[in-house]
């Protein structure tokens, strides 16, 4: 689904929910943010960096500055919790000693210090999502983009994840939460941007889910 005439400004440190029904262009927005897709016209500026014309060799650098959390986790099944988190640093060429220092910190934030040696299939969906969040944190990103992070979770796990995102936002990280979960959005009481058929139909500070 395409997006048209989207004009948004998300300030540093904000917690923004982007809501809308399936197929309205929410995921397209996420893909544009991490340069998985390019805008056909217009500009996307992140922290003063115009990424609408970013070169493919610069895309990795962009992605290390934005932490992404997915509905389907995207964990490597043959790597342990620890290795999955370390992987994001390994591919970026971070020294092993740094990796050994950073990974336990990230796992501590998400509360998984006791499960570092488990494989993804040995832990619950909520725990897997926490591993993904830990992985997205290791580059100390300014922005976390969570695309339906609770889509595959039951309500208890959903609240755990939302709480975690809120805490991360409390550290000063901008959080962009893409969701169609009415309860979550209503309880957050933060800015809500509603997208419908590719258009921004409302943008309200302390908004509610209105569709």
Q: How far is the CB of 56 from other proteins (least distance, A)?
A: 7
Q: How far is the CB of 151 from other proteins (least distance, A)?
A: 17
Pairing of strands 191-196, 15-19: parallel
Nearer to other proteins, 120 or 207 (CB): 120
d(CA 106, CA 86): 10
Q: What is the DSSP letter of 206?
A: T
Q: Does 109 bind other proteins (CB under 8 A)?
A: no
Q: Does 91 bind other proteins (CB under 8 A)?
A: yes
Q: Does 43 bind other proteins (CB under 8 A)?
A: no
Sequence-distant (6+) residues with CB within 8 A of 150 are 129, 157, 158, 161, 162, 179, 181, 184
Q: Does 88 bind other proteins (CB under 8 A)?
A: yes
Q: 1, 62, 109, 199: which one contacts other proteins (CB under 8 A)?
A: 62
* Residue 32: half-sphere exposure toward Cβ, Cα within 13 Å: 22
Q: Does 54 bind other proteins (CB under 8 A)?
A: no
Q: 21, 45, 47, 74: which one contacts other proteins (CB under 8 A)?
A: 74
Q: Does 92 bind other proteins (CB under 8 A)?
A: yes
- Let me know the angle formed at the C-alpha of 176 by 211 and 64, rounded to the nearest 5 degrees: 150
Q: Tokens 């509360």 appear where?
A: 111
Q: Which stretch binds other proteins (CB under 8 A): 17-25, 41-49, 86-94, 123-131?
A: 86-94
Closest CA to 49 of 37, 58, 38, 39: 58
Nearer to other proteins, 98 or 182 (CB): 98
Is the distance from CB of 33 to CB of 46 less than 8 angstroms?
yes
Q: 8, 45, 53, 76: which one contacts other proteins (CB under 8 A)?
A: 76
Q: Which parts of this chain interact with other proteins (CB under 8 A)? A: 34, 56-57, 60-64, 68, 70, 74-76, 87-88, 90-96, 135, 139
């Amino acid at each position: 689904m395409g997006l048209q005439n989207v004009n948004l400004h998300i300030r540093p440190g904000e917690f923004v929910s982007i809501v809308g029904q399936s197929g309205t262009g929410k995921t397209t927005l996420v893909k544009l943010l991490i340069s998985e897709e390019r805008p056909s016209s217009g500009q996307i500026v992140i922290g003063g960096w115009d990424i609408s014309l970013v070169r493919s060799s610069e895309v990795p650098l962009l992605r290390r500055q934005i932490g992404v959390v997915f509905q389907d986790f995207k964990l490597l099944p043959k790597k342990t919790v620890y290795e999955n988190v370390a992987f994001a640093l390994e591919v970026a060429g971070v020294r092993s000693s740094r990796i050994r220092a950073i990974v336990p910190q990230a796992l501590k934030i998400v509360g998984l210090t006791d499960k570092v040696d488990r494989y993804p299939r040995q832990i619950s969906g909520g725990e897997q999502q926490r591993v993904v969040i830990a992985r997205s944190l290791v580059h100390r990103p300014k922005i976390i983009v969570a695309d339906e992070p609770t889509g595959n979770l039951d309500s208890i796990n959903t609240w755990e994840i939302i709480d975690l995102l809120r805490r991360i936002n409390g550290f000063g990280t901008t959080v962009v939460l893409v969701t169609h979960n009415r309860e979550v959005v209503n309880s957050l009481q933060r800015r809500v941007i509603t997208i419908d058929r590719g258009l921004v139909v409302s943008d309200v500070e302390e908004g509610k889910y209105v569709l």
